[in-house]
Amino acid sequence: MSEWTLAIVAVALLAVAAVSRRLSGSWVTPTMLFVAAGVVAGPRVLDEVRAAPSSSVIRGLAEATLTVLLFADASRIRLDALRRDYVLPARLLGIGLPLTIAAGAVAAKLVLPQLSVMEAVLLAIVLAPTDAALGQAVVTEPRLPLRIRQGLNVESGLNDGICVPLLFIVLATVEVDADATTSSHAATIVLEEIGYGIAGGLAAGVLAAAVVVFCRRRGLMSDASLPIVPVVAAGLAYGIASPLGGSGFIAAFVGGLCFGTLARDHANLLGGFNEQLGDLLNSVTFLAFGAVLLGPSLGGVDWRVVVYAVASLTVVRMVPVALALLGSGARRETVAFVGWFGPRGLASIVFAVIILEEAQLPHQATMVLTTYFTVGVSVLVHGMTAAPLTRRYARWYEAHPRDARPPMEAAPAVEHRTRGTAGK
């Protein structure tokens, strides 16, 4: 990093904050500006923000961001409400997500034939999680059918946590195939990653929720102290699991689910600082992504990478969603809308950084390059289309008379908080 890095990051944050109101509802999103600022500040233009893609600074920033946001996203999901209105999330996660991974793997083998089968599956998992924050207009537009809006919100909040254990399982399998480790050692690592991750998350989530509930009932904790608890709990979950050999991401996800369920009555007072910190870290991470990961890699992009990126954001996502919604009663407009809005973002970046630093795979350079480019394209196209297509879909829905609206879309749903709406 150069001596001007901090100043450049600060100026970028100030500049985007200064026009944030104008950006709301436009085809330009804050994330697009941060990535663009990173590319300009990076080695391809100004060369003022630079670091090795596998540097501890980049990985630490990305992992901290994902940890905070995994905990926050999971804590917003109301499990009791999800049990009553599970149809759309269950179809997207239980049918759509596995089919997306399978389709992504098939596409990888067709377009990038140098990848082994397991490398293709690994790439598909890396690019399977969606990031609703890249299309914020979609999950915050009040005119959208609540069931559709919350279905996309829940899908984004849960699919990255679901993909974490899959990532470690397949990564271990790939390393066995590449003779980088033995099968027994790989199995031990996977069991530790998942087992200690779950244990750390449960411990942190229960402890943090118990502190909040117990101390609030007895008047020991002030309102001002409450918002820091989720951040501390996320750090505690990661801090318990990681030294034991567990996945801090699994711990953060499980801890958030547990904490959100047990401390639900205090949700409006708990979320603010956690989400603001998560948004700040997210902004800096995407700036670093543009400068250190995307910008320097653009010279290596060839037609195969471009084709896979386009396929990943279209048919690999949209066809599985269409299959998942068969028999649900969803109209074609809804199937197209839900299928299109599957942005790839933070989780894919972190997964790629993990592969780059920890794995010893024959074609990992191709895998991470494809991931970076796909995320970059997703930031651009999903950001540009989020607001206009959301308005168009809302107009289609509202054009139906109130008593003749499509039954699947108009079905009542319980609202889960969306990122950025704490306290509202």
SS3 sequence of 245-278? CCCHHHHHHHHHHHHHHHCHHHHHHHHHHHHHHH
Q: Tell me if 93 sits within 8 A of 155, measured CB to CB.
A: yes
pLDDT reading at 180 higher than 70:
no
Structure-block tokens of residue 97 = 């997500």
Give the separation between CA 114 and CA 122, rounded to whole angstroms: 14
For residue 179, how many other CB atoms are within 10 A of its CB?
8
Question: pLDDT-derived band of residue 84, with 50, 70 and 90 as boundaries?
Answer: low
pLDDT in tens, 256-285: 999 988 888 776 666 677 778 888 999 999
Average pLDDT value for residue range 137-157? 84
At residue 101, the pLDDT reads 97
Task: Tell me how many helices (H) and strands (E) the chain has.
Answer: 21, 0
At residue 15, the pLDDT reads 95
Tell me which residue of 79, 81, 102, 82 sits closest to 324, measured CA to CA: 102
Range name among 1-5, 32-36, 82-86, 328-332 with the lowest pLDDT average: 82-86
pLDDT reading at 423 higher than 60:
no
Q: Tell me if 347 sits within 8 A of 66, measured CB to CB.
A: yes
pLDDT reading at 421 higher than 50:
no
For residue 156, how many other CB atoms are within 10 A of its CB?
27
Q: Where would I find the H helices in 48-96?
A: 56-76, 79-84, 87-91
Percent of the chain clearing pLDDT 70 (strictly above): 91
Range name among 311-315, 369-373, 386-390, 411-415 with the lowest pLDDT average: 411-415
pLDDT reading at 179 higher than 80:
no
At residue 422, the pLDDT reads 43
Average pLDDT value for residue range 79-86? 67
pLDDT in tens, 358-373: 778 889 999 999 999 9
Q: What is the separation of C-alpha 56 from the centre of its chain, rounded to a whole number of angstroms?
A: 21
Q: Tell me if 331 sits within 8 A of 408, measured CB to CB.
A: yes
For residue 76, how many other CB atoms are within 10 A of its CB?
23
Q: Is 325 left (phi over 0), alpha (psi -120 to 50) or beta?
A: alpha
Average pLDDT value for residue range 217-238? 89
Of the two residues 303 and 156, the one the predictor is more confident about is 303
Of the two residues 112 and 27, the one the predictor is more confident about is 112
Q: Where would I find the H helices in 29-145?
A: 30-41, 56-76, 79-84, 87-91, 97-111, 117-126, 136-140
pLDDT reading at 409 higher than 50:
yes
Tell me which residue of 60, 90, 117 sits closest to 235, measured CA to CA: 60
Domains, the chain, ranges and CATH?
A: 5-410 (1.20.1530.20)
Give the separation between CA 240 and CA 247, rounded to whole angstroms: 10
Structure-block tokens of residue 163 = 């993909």
Average pLDDT value for residue range 377-400? 93
pLDDT reading at 287 higher than 90:
yes
At residue 258, the pLDDT reads 92
pLDDT reading at 419 higher than 60:
no
Q: Tell me if 268 sits within 8 A of 422, measured CB to CB.
A: yes
Q: What is the average pLDDT score of the chain?
A: 88
Of the two residues 4 and 295, the one the predictor is more confident about is 295
Average pLDDT value for residue range 396-416? 82
With a CB cutoff of 8 Å and minimum separation 6, the contacts of 12 are 33, 34, 37, 41, 287
Give the separation between CA 334 and CA 355, rounded to whole angstroms: 35
Average pLDDT value for residue range 134-141? 78
Between the alpha carbon of residue 112 and those of residues 76, 83, 173, 413, the distances in Å are 38, 40, 20, 42
Residue with tokens 């400068």: 291
How many Å is the Cα radius of gyration of the chain?
21
